[in-house]
Chains A and B, each alone.
Chain A
Amino acid sequence: MLFLPFPEQKHKANQTVVMPNYVQHARSSLTQLAATGADARRIADRAVSMWSDVDAALSPIIGHRGVTALLRRSLLLTVPTHTALLTAHADVDAPSDFGALRATLERQSSETAIATNDALLQKFVDLLTNLIGESLTERLLRSVPDTPSSDGAVQETSS
């Protein structure tokens, strides 16, 4: 399992929030992939695979539409610092469809794609934490597999 007790961080608004380990794990996974020389397309594949796993973990409880609604909101909240996501926000509509996000990440450099995905995932987890609390968020995301269930590397070889 991914989650250990979270290190606490102070939020800007003087509010104690928790850095979710899943966000750290995702960043670490993508950084390691980039270190192997993977391009933005592979980074995007791996990121989308992770998002699919998050969707699979949450959608039985809140529905695919519930996950999509949270993702759209997270995209909008991340746009001020990562404007490239504006296109993805406009195109994300169908449940469990991360194609628009993949397209946005693919167009960036590996480094920027990792930073963008990291910021988006952080917003998503923050939003979920704000709604259902840290303990339950941690509990629900715990079922996300350590290794993406459909790794981008597989897609890389097939393309």
Chain B
Amino acid sequence: MTIGKALINRLHTGVPGLDEILGGGLPEYSFNIIAGSPGSGKTTLAHQMMFAMATAQRPALYFTVLGEPPLKMLRYQQQFDFFDSKQVNRSVHFFNLSEDIASGDLGQVLRRISSEVETYAPSLVFIDSFRSVVLAEQSGKNSFLGLQQFIQQLGTLMTSWQATTFLIGEYFAENDPNPVFTVADGMIWLRQSVHRNSVVRKMEIAKMRGAATLAGLHTFRITPGGIHVFAPPPLGVNSGADSDPASLVPTRLSLGVPELDEMLGGGLPRGYSLLVAGPSGSGKSILAGAFLQDGGRRGETGVIAAFEQRPNKSRGHAITELIDSGRVGVIDTRALNVSVDEITALLIAEIHRLKASRVVIDSLSGFELALAPTFRDDFRESLARMISALATTGATVLMTSELEDRYDDLRFSPYGTAFLTDSIIVQRYIEVESQLKRVMAVVKVRASNHSNDLRLFDIDNDGIKIRQKLVSYEGLLGGRPTRRGRVRDPGSADDD
């Protein structure tokens, strides 16, 4: 029986990804702490939420205590896109408590907060920085109100005024038995993880009463648009949002190379992930481009995340046209210290935006290099999550991967990723009669018949051309095949 129970509304924070890790938004009237070291983004997070949630009817009050001078705070915060000057003194009100707290009398601070709260009846109250309040209490000789009482009275006041409250603080130690931790309904920790010379920002919801939050450390980035939290990708459930465009796509997709489609058993099954592995220059990116071009010809949309060394490198005329016309979305992969979750979130957002049916990640090797060092150890696990998350969108995913030719070691994928993807195509170089030839084989297409042939292929101005098998040679994967029968030029005629 749920009738009569209090309903806890969830507030949309306006911070991309934060609602997801909060388990659906911030509980209304909650009493929260935002903690972290200097420069971790506490004030930015507070401002971003404030400008998103405040309204003229239920405004936000932002109390600044000692610490960052208010002029400086306003100077820097207005650089963010979310800072709307028109809201200041209308739905957002700033108050300086430095002179109230200078006395060390927390009772005076509480009276001032109480007075402003009664005047404005805010829905949101921010106190920045709360560390100053703690220090004032410690140094205050004439305070009749202890820190614990102050916090309890503040919590009571805010609850009775139905205000969602945030205390922004530095240097809170997690193991510190600070009384504020007991009173707080929610604790948002912002951290900066340093590994070698890379710094990655991470957010943790250490506590949030009444909410099923996503545990763990979630990476976030601060951009001119503000904070963007990269929540772990949703797993296992098809979003359904893209099922409509995907349903317009045939059950098997062409890769844009007819003979290769035949080798795959009639094209790549829709919604599958395909790994194209091969050595440098073997034609992986060209195949990925053909895949997107074929989609473009059929009116499908696509998304590409290209981790090439030169961002402005030409992707080919046809792909450039698709990008310029908005039919292929490009994920900006140039940011430093990315995480797999970040790229996954960007990919999924772009897939949803374009209702894309084809996705290219070129290449996993470049992707790994772009990752912050701290994430590289978990690359395989993260990759598994990403592939699973992309599968929920219904899009068909082609990933390329650099695979060093090792002729004494038969490998079809790096990182032990063979089992992660639904299908694998391997490209290799072989030496035949003093020429370097390319061969390609379909290694795996889950739940489908496919060719087992090892086929020669060429790349010309029109793209990839699949040639014949080399039936009269053996030891192809050793790199230096030898002839079994009569001598024929493997590149000049059908050898089937």
Contact = CB atoms under 8 A, between A and B. Distances in A.
Interface in A11-59: 59
Q: Size class of B's contact patch?
A: 10 to 19
A139 B96 contact: no
A143 to B, nearest CB: 6
A67 B400 CA distance: 61
A61 interface: yes
Given A139-B86, A140-B89, A64 B78 contact: no
9 contacts: A60-B93, A61-B70, A62-B70, A63-B96, A64-B99, A131-B74, A136-B74, A136-B88, A139-B88
A140 B78 CA distance: 14
Nearest to A135: B85
Given A66-B69, A143-B89, 20 more contacts: A59-B96, A60-B95, A61-B70, A61-B74, A61-B94, A61-B96, A62-B69, A62-B96, A63-B70, A63-B99, A65-B99, A131-B74, A131-B75, A132-B71, A132-B75, A135-B86, A136-B74, A136-B85, A139-B88, A139-B89
A82 interface: no
B98 A63 contact: yes
Contacts of B88: 136, 139-140
A138 B96 CA distance: 19
Nearest to A62: B70
B78 A133 contact: yes
A95 B98 CA distance: 13
Given A133-B85, A139-B88, A66 B94 contact: no
Interface string B73-100: 0110010000001101100011110110
Interface in A113-145: 131-133, 135-136, 138-140, 142-143
B96 A132 contact: no
A16 B75 CA distance: 18
Interface string A92-124: 000100000000000000000000000000000
Contacts of A63: 70, 96, 98-99
B69 A136 contact: no
Interface of A: 59-66, 95, 131-133, 135-136, 138-140, 142-143
Interface of B: 69-71, 74-75, 78, 85-86, 88-89, 93-96, 98-99
**Contact residues of A: prevailing secondary structure:** helix
Contacts of B70: 61-63, 66
Contacts of A133: 75, 78, 85
A63 B78 CA distance: 19
B137 to A, nearest CB: 20
Contacts of B86: 135, 139
Nearest to B94: A61
Contacts of A135: 78, 85-86
A139 B74 CA distance: 12
Contact of A61 (B75, B78, B85, B95): B95
B70 to A, nearest CB: 5
Contacts of A136: 74, 78, 85, 88
A56 B78 CA distance: 23
B102 to A, nearest CB: 9
A60 B70 CA distance: 10
A133 B89 CA distance: 15
A62 B85 CA distance: 16
A138 B88 CA distance: 10
B119 to A, nearest CB: 11
A131 B96 CA distance: 17
A131 B85 contact: no
A149 to B, nearest CB: 17
B71 A62 contact: yes
Contacts of B69: 62, 66
B273 to A, nearest CB: 48
Nearest to B72: A131
Interface centre among A95, A139, A143 (most CB of B within 10 A): A139
A59 B89 CA distance: 13
A133 B80 CA distance: 13
A66 B96 contact: yes
A75 to B, nearest CB: 18
A60 B99 contact: no
Contacts of B78: 132-133, 135-136
A131 B75 CA distance: 6
Nearest to A63: B96
Contacts of A138: 85
A132 B74 contact: yes
A139 B93 CA distance: 11
Contacts of A139: 85-86, 88-89
Contacts of A95: 99
A133 B98 CA distance: 23
A139 B83 CA distance: 13
Contact of A131 (B71, B93, B98): B71
A138 B95 CA distance: 18
A59 B99 CA distance: 10
Interface centre among A62, A135, A142 (most CB of B within 10 A): A62
Contacts of A62: 69-71, 96
Top 6 A-B residue pairs of the complex, sorted by shortest distance between their CB atoms: A135-B85, A63-B96, A61-B94, A136-B85, A62-B70, A132-B74
Interface centre among A63, A64, A95, A135 (most CB of B within 10 A): A63
Nearest to A128: B71
